[in-house]
Chains A and B, each alone.
Chain A
């Protein structure tokens, strides 16, 4: 992952100042997308946030959505996302991003509205806002970064912490009988009728990164089509709090996390329509 970030930064210096840069940028995917500010990110080495930021920014640029986008960063590591995204943004209170995004989207139904939330923000303190926004079918896109810990506050147990995983508040490892099982957000939401699209991806290989971008693109398509609530859950590394190096982190996503959080498409109303010839759509 560290590599992906470095290579992304290396290229733009040459190509960015070229005339008609915007038109040409598509040909040089390594260039900084216009939807990102020229800033050095504060994220730890090996952290998934920088890559996910970039993927979201690329999708917004490629789909031409930047000028009508309003993003809602969370409380958590990504709280400073407005220093990196070059689109309108408003910070939400911890856990309330889906509610705030709802307020924005209802007033501006044609805007592209996304929230960017971590596991504590989304699946612990913000569960009610998440579930009910999804159930109302709010036409917003949620980028859910699942790294199995509270990152910013120093690696405490998250709702998505794995069984047996040691954190600063589960020093003996997470135990099902006391701390419960990890919350599977995609599975949880898949039963709600307001949800149009749910996909879980893993950000631990170039292929995984590509797949994640595709999922994000699909989620924004779903929003633009006004089909309902869309969410992409991304299994993402936190080497600092996992106390691993980036390579070990990627392996841990592969060998441990993705066994509990199985990647895949959990809901896609467009696929269902295709299968059923669209007759069932109401």
Chain B
């Protein structure tokens, strides 16, 4: 892996390993995290790769820290990020709740970071089975305050790698935390992964400079980063600036994959693992002559509302939001559709992964009576 790192080669990787390798290649040189299932292979992978990289490129100063808590990990990231280092942490739902403090602070201070959430069933400790129960938390900012984070939702192991690689560029571009969300299935699953030629190993020296970073006030006036802004008009100004940035992200970054949508009169909306199941179900329905399509949001925030609205305008009879929770993204589908068509919901919470057959049954039932919402 380390030898032929710039030559595209197919590897059989676990989702978490794909994230780890993509991060290393994207120039991530600081990882801090705390163990929690089902993502432990990621810190394990990072500890090994950071060590290997240190042997190979000591000047890159790769850092792996197993922190004493998720709180500590995210605040270590804040420190690493303010120096300009590309940094990442990962966890699963309960740990991500703890990280919200630091995510909010970094959003407020406009510091880039990549945070990986391998979601599990909840609330509370819940279980370790695949779930999408953190959709609200991920897409509404997550912590306190008026902010959002970019949320990327891969559906294959290849995409785990591709989107993680890109997450570092997005985080730097907008100086904002970026979340990569998967679930236990995405994390544990192995699939072939190819790192393309346009995803080379990026050394720190060759990354774009960050003139804003703190590295000691040598040859320039001292600077500071803060999120405490006491005078209301200054805080307002700061929030306006953040808002304008987020608006720009909303304009430029929404992404979705469309499957058989062109002639569809019924559209399923699903992301991540659920989208894979939906893809199977849609295929089953198509085989039976039902004109069903799939919209798979790749960015959960900014949400691909525009493409959903345009699809609704083309005269789709009904939408079905399919999620591994009890109905969170369905709100965003409804906001996008704006009453143009009925929006249905089907989901299984608690780590139960519905089968394509089960979903196909639900689709058929609604397909035959699209106006009646559940």
Contacts and interface: CB of A to CB of B under 8 A. Distances in A.
Direct contact of A and B (CB under 8 A): yes
B228 to A, nearest CB: 6
B101 A106 contact: no
B98 to A, nearest CB: 11
A88 B215 contact: yes
Nearest to B218: A67
A90 interface: yes
A89 B227 CA distance: 12
Interface in A114-137: 128-129, 131-132, 136
Which of A67, A100, A102, A136 has the largest number of chain B CB atoms within 10 A? A100
Contact of B216 (A99, A111, A128): A111
Range of interface residues on chain B? 35 or more
Contacts of B68: 128-129, 131-132
A88 B67 contact: no
Nearest to A97: B75
A222 B77 CA distance: 25
Contacts of A86: 217, 222
A210 interface: no
Contact of B76 (A102, A112, A128): A102
Contacts of B32: 103
A3 to B, nearest CB: 29
Contact of B78 (A90, A128, A131): A90
A88 B217 contact: yes
A103 B109 CA distance: 16
Contact of A103 (B61, B77, B219): B77
Nearest to A108: B83
A93 interface: yes
Contacts of A89: 214, 222-225
Contact of A70 (B63, B75, B216): B216
Interface string B288-317: 000000000000000000000000000000
Nearest to B215: A108
Nearest to B78: A100
B78 A103 contact: yes
B105 A93 contact: yes
Contacts of B199: none
Interface string A78-109: 01101001111111110010011111111111
Interface of A: 66-70, 72, 75, 79-80, 82, 85-93, 96, 99-109, 111-112, 128-129, 131-132, 136
Interface of B: 29-30, 32, 61, 63, 65, 67-69, 71-73, 75-85, 87, 101-102, 105, 109, 214-219, 222-228
